[in-house]
Amino acid sequence: MWNRMRLVGPRLARVLRKSSWTNRIASLVLLLTLVAAAVPDLIAPFDPVKAVPVDRMLGIGVDGHLLGTDAIGRDIFSRLVYGSRAVWTVALAVSAGSLLLGSLLGATSGYIGGAFDAVVSRAIDGVLAFPPVLLGLVLAAIAGPGTWTAIAALAVVFTPLTTRVMRASVLAERGAAYVHASAGLGHRPIVTLVREVLPNTIGPMIVVTTLIASRAIIVEASLSFLGVGTQPPQPSWGLMAAEAQQYIFIAPGQVLIPVLTLAAVVLSLNFIGDAMAEVLDPESRSVRVNTR
Amino acid sequence: MTDIHGEGTALRGATATVAPLLSVRDMTVVTRGSQVPIVSDFNLDIAPGETVGIVGESGCGKTTAVLGMLGLLDPRQLAISGSARYGDTDLIAAPDTVRRQIWGRDVGIIYQDALRALNPVMTVGQQIAEVFEAHGGRPDAKEEVVNLLARVGIASPEVRQHSYPHELSGGMRQRVMAAIAVAMRPRLLVADEPTTALDVTIQAQVLELIRGLVAEMNMATVLISHDLGVIAGMCDRVVVLYAGRIVEQGDAAAVFEAPRHPYTRALLRATPGYVGKVAGRFNFIPGTPPAPSAARVGCAFRERCSEATDACTARTPELVEIGAGIEVACFHPIDPARTEDRGPAKGSARAGSGVVTVIERGPAQPTEEPQATPILEARNVTRVYGRRSWLRRSAAVALAVDGVTLTVRAGECVGLVGESGSGKSTLGRLLVGMEDPTSGEIVFDGRPVSRMSGAERRAFRRSAQMIYQDPRSSLNRSYSVGSILRTALRAGGADSSDVDAQVADVLERVGLSARYAERYPMSLSGGECQRVAIARALCVRPKVLVADEAISSLDVSVQGQILNLLADIQRDTGIGIVFIAHDLGVVRELCDTAAVMYLGRIVEQGPAKDVLSVPQHPYSMALKSAAPIPDPRRERSRRRIILLGDPPSALAPPKGCAFHTRCPVGPLNHPDRTACIDDRPDLRSPDGAGHAVACHYVGSDANTALLGQVT
């Protein structure tokens, strides 16, 4: 498994090098927003929460405000840069949470099967019935609004997706002869599951995790828009769109900028997820000698 | 010899005077885009009423060539040049409107995979009627559908015409496809590996059916098969394909008698049932066919050929006639007069050193003491699937293995033979502890497995290793060969300091170089995968190896390598081997003892040479008779035992002797033999020696007469 992970870096680079321009642009978008999220203070020229009423509603490029200012005079570019931190926190935390939880549930229920599988599967069906936004609202009502409330809600809501994909992948591999062979070497079931079965589920899991990351970004924006996600004055792209919507006819850019950025990141995640799956899929391993 | 050539020339004479039914000229098929040639310079005339066999390893372009000459390839993927004249029509160039008149009416096709070739949402009757509709309809279509189903041997056709494909057995589906193919009484019947997915006794039924239909309707036939035995029994003429080119073609009897192309000779010698091989050693062709490539010049077989010279690399040999109607594409065709003294090439398993690599050695010798201590025993084991549970009231109960006793000794190879559903694989899984018997006991080294502790059990499982049927699925595609073997070595408690050296060592033992450690399973051929799987099993120093159909998914040309490897391992390590197979010939050659299974029970057991050469149970006789022999003269003259119907379901096995519903000497033909219906025969030894048979009428006149048909 680690042996394999070691190969991922160079392979990813190779895939990107020969891949389409969409994948290159997508990786650029993700890289820029990730850097912004990591070191926003190095990039943002202004304090994102400091209101300067004199400078409100400035146009693009005026007085050093790259993307202008909003209704209370905050620099939109700086808010966008700091907002990427909220976006990436949510994306990474939610996908990591649902990946861990879902892998655990899916792998065990798929491998063990029987009654345990039946119980897990029905419970998952139950969770799946909740609309993400609704669950976010309910949790916010209980635990109070905030970024981590949104993350917890979303991690729970998206766990059924990872669980199901993991369970299906494990079921598909479980009957393979190499799994029997591993048991035949005297390995315990847990060793067989972790060492033999799980590496072959990475491809689909990467795809579903990136899908979850992008959906989490969208739903977090919705929750912030509705007022239960990131709390003002902290910047978040959904919040920015929400605050700017009343000026949509005066300054449409203030709505469009965060929304289009959001769309670009979501789209890029999907492209890169597909590329990653291709890299990690053993079937597409490069040293392929056709012997037929 | 002479009479065979006489037949050949007579046939060629007929071909020359009558205009060919289908005439293919210079057909070349290349992939679109990358321009990789799949079939090159294919020329073939098919005379009316003639049966032509097309043979070659998998991936040699057999199916592509035949579908290409019928105009059935997808033009979006493959570009075809050349012509295929059927009457006034060129099947390659003509518009679909014209070709559709010919497809289905003048040309009928039987595909390999009936389950996929038949439409799952239509009844079989509808699918036969569809052919009539496509060609103008006929007023008596309904009656004709029933007649056709009856003709292809479907019992109660009025009822069966309303069945869906999944409700029929594999053999019956193939019969339905035959009915569809011949519904319009075509002039050309094409059968693409029609029996490859079927059990031998069912294969014999379907081949008999095709033979009958061809004779009755006087159709020309193109039969694609990888099995030279099947070709030998069916075909007037044989076309040998290698890497998309015809390397040899001619009268079947002549080609089988004296193959001229080194590939044909090697393939023939590798075919199970080929007589005249060196005892105890299996023939094979080293290496694998080359990947198709546009840049390739020269003979495609040269790397695997014992006769290859520089000329073979410089130019591609043309197909030329070298007498007696035989055409060969080779610079060094084998001189039939010299074949005898040349004999099989001797040498090691190095690729290119010999077409047929035979290492002289006696038959597999049992260890010094023939009655070595048993390592692994099955004592009266039974395995039931689908046990009745309180949740599902009417769960079906299948007896997969029913009271089987089997002993494996050190240094002994035990063959388990039977058709699918006979329980042989289940027994194999019980023997290695992959499953537990429902009743009875597996005993390893004198200790019952059921009474072992967890750690002991894991140790037992290491001692009894399994080789699986599908070599690709048995290796984890996420790991390199080296890391697969390292894992196994550690599981076997190997010293971790020199694991890499041990990996190289174990790879060498299965005939692979140490470089293979870095390869991934996806880049290996099926035979190489199987070697790695065997290497992995050896890593834990097992005492028993259970090979479950370990060669049946490999090409004939490489099967011999794996068999030789197993024989070598057994000789070198003295482990016990259980070899599960459906091929009697291979078991007879490889194994010391053999057991024949039918519906979960052993019906005959004893020394492999006795059981499989002079079988005493009627079912063993039928199995032996069903296996095709790659020799047209013997294959055509011999009388076959064709069993009736399919094996009964294990869900409802017949009472008494389970075989009585199909037995040729049972109550079907001998109504006085009521014991077969009432009493279940036990395994007993007619001569008091090791050979035991579960038949009430062992040695009776009828049974002896039946045996006479087989031997």
Q: What confidence tier does A19 reach under pLDDT thresholds 50, 70, 90?
A: low
Interchain CB contact of A54 with B (< 8 Å)? no
| Nearest by Cα to B629 from B44, B47, B207, B294 | B207
**Out of A15-24, B178-187, B445-454, least confident range:** A15-24
Q: What confidence tier does B278 reach under pLDDT thresholds 50, 70, 90?
A: low
For residue B362, pLDDT beyond 70:
no
Structural domain of A71: 24-52+60-164+203-284
Q: What is the CATH number of the domain that holds A96?
A: 1.10.3720
- Interchain pair B488, A291: CB under 8 A: no
Angle separating helix axes A252-280 and A21-38, nearest 10 degrees: 110
Look at residue B361 in the predicted model and tell me its pLDDT: 39
Q: Which residue has the tokens 């098969």?
A: B225
Q: Using one digit for the tens of pLDDT, what is the confidence trace for B425-462? A: 999 999 999 999 999 999 999 999 999 998 999 999 99
Which residues in chain B are closer than 8 Å to A289, comparing Cβ atoms? 523
Look at residue B215 in the predicted model and tell me its pLDDT: 93
CA B51 to CA B188: how far, in whole Å?
Answer: 9
**Burial status of residue B486 (CB atoms within 10 A of its CB: 0-12, 13-18, 19 or more):** buried
For residue B674, pLDDT beyond 60:
yes
How far is the alpha carbon of B463 from chain A, nearest alpha carbon, in Å?
9
Mutate to test the interface with B, among A173, A174, A291 (most CBs of B within 10 A): A291
- Interchain pair A283, B477: CB under 8 A: yes
Q: Which residue has the tokens 């094979």?
A: B284
For residue B196, pLDDT beyond 70:
yes
Look at residue A16 in the predicted model and tell me its pLDDT: 62
- Interchain pair A282, B520: CB under 8 A: yes
* Tally of structural domains, chain A: 1
How is residue A193 annotated by DSSP?
I
Q: Using one digit for the tens of pLDDT, what is the confidence trace for B607-662? A: 998 899 899 999 999 999 988 888 888 888 888 888 888 888 888 888 899 999 99
Q: Which helix (H) or strand (E) holds A114?
A: helix A114-128
Interchain CB contact of A178 with B (< 8 Å)? yes
Q: Which helix (H) or strand (E) holds A254?
A: helix A252-280
Q: Using one digit for the tens of pLDDT, what is the confidence trace for B691-705? A: 999 999 988 888 888
Size of interface A-B (CB pairs under 8 A): 88
Q: What confidence tier does B340 reach under pLDDT thresholds 50, 70, 90?
A: very low
The CB density around residue A277, as the number of other CB atoms within 10 Å, is 18
> A260-263 long-range CB contacts below 8 Å, 24 or more apart?
A261/A33, A261/A80, A261/A237, A262/A87, A262/A217, A262/A218, A262/A221, A262/A237, A262/A238
Q: Are B469 and B549 in contact (CB under 8 A)?
A: yes
For residue B6, pLDDT beyond 60:
no
Look at residue A8 in the predicted model and tell me its pLDDT: 64
Chain B positions with Cβ closer than 8 Å to A: 58-59, 288-289, 291, 432, 434, 458-459, 461-462, 464-466, 468-470, 473-480, 483, 487-488, 491-492, 519-520, 522-525, 528, 533, 536-537, 540
Chain A (193-222) residues lying within 8 Å, Cβ to Cβ, of chain B: 195-196, 199-200
CA B38 to CA B218: how far, in whole Å?
Answer: 32
Q: What confidence tier does A4 reach under pLDDT thresholds 50, 70, 90?
A: low
Q: Which residue has the tokens 């997820």?
A: A273
Interchain CB contact of A115 with B (< 8 Å)? no
Cα B627 to Cα A16, A222, B171, B295, B379: the distances in Å are 54, 70, 16, 41, 31
CA B219 to CA B234: how far, in whole Å?
Answer: 13
Q: Using one digit for the tens of pLDDT, what is the confidence trace for B523-554? A: 888 899 999 999 999 999 999 999 999 988 88
Look at residue A194 in the predicted model and tell me its pLDDT: 92
3-state class (DSSP) for residue B409: strand
**A188 within a domain of the structure (yes/no):** no
Structural domains in chain B, CATH included, are 2-247 (3.40.50.300), 255-342 (no CATH), 614-711 (no CATH)
For residue B339, pLDDT beyond 60:
no
Q: Interface pTM (ipTM) of the complex?
A: 0.79
Of the candidates B59, B477, B523, the beta carbon closest to that of A289 is on B523
**Out of A189-203, B221-235, B361-375, least confident range:** B361-375
**A16 within a domain of the structure (yes/no):** no
Per-residue tokens: B549 = 């159909």
3-state class (DSSP) for residue B629: coil
For residue A136, pLDDT beyond 90:
no
**A72 within a domain of the structure (yes/no):** yes
Measured between CA atoms, the residue of chain B closest to residue A280 is B478
Mutate to test the interface with A, among B478, B541, B549 (most CBs of A within 10 A): B478
- Interchain pair B522, A283: CB under 8 A: yes
Please state the separation of Cα B392 from the chain's center in Å: 39
Maximum CA pair distance of chain B?
81
Look at residue B352 in the predicted model and tell me its pLDDT: 35
**A2 within a domain of the structure (yes/no):** no
| Average pLDDT, integer, range B132-161 | 92
The CB density around residue B276, as the number of other CB atoms within 10 Å, is 10
Q: Are B27 and B42 in contact (CB under 8 A)?
A: yes
**A127 within a domain of the structure (yes/no):** yes
Look at residue A15 in the predicted model and tell me its pLDDT: 63
- Interchain pair B434, A3: CB under 8 A: no
CA angle, corner A134, sides to A128 and A140, nearest 5? 120
Q: Using one digit for the tens of pLDDT, what is the confidence trace for B363-394? A: 444 444 456 789 999 999 999 887 655 555 55
**A121 within a domain of the structure (yes/no):** yes
Higher pLDDT, B402 or A65: B402
Q: Using one digit for the tens of pLDDT, what is the confidence trace for A198-211? A: 988 888 898 899 88
Interchain CB contact of A114 with B (< 8 Å)? no
Task: Give strand pairing partners of B576.
Answer: B544
For residue B113, pLDDT beyond 60:
yes
Task: Give strand pairing partners of B27.
Answer: B42
Look at residue A1 in the predicted model and tell me its pLDDT: 47
- Interchain pair B462, A185: CB under 8 A: yes
CA A21 to CA B372: how far, in whole Å?
Answer: 70
**A279 within a domain of the structure (yes/no):** yes
- Interchain pair B476, A3: CB under 8 A: no
Per-residue tokens: B243 = 């890497």
**A116 within a domain of the structure (yes/no):** yes
- Interchain pair B519, A283: CB under 8 A: no
Which residues in chain B are closer than 8 Å to A201, comparing Cβ atoms? none
- Interchain pair B470, A177: CB under 8 A: yes
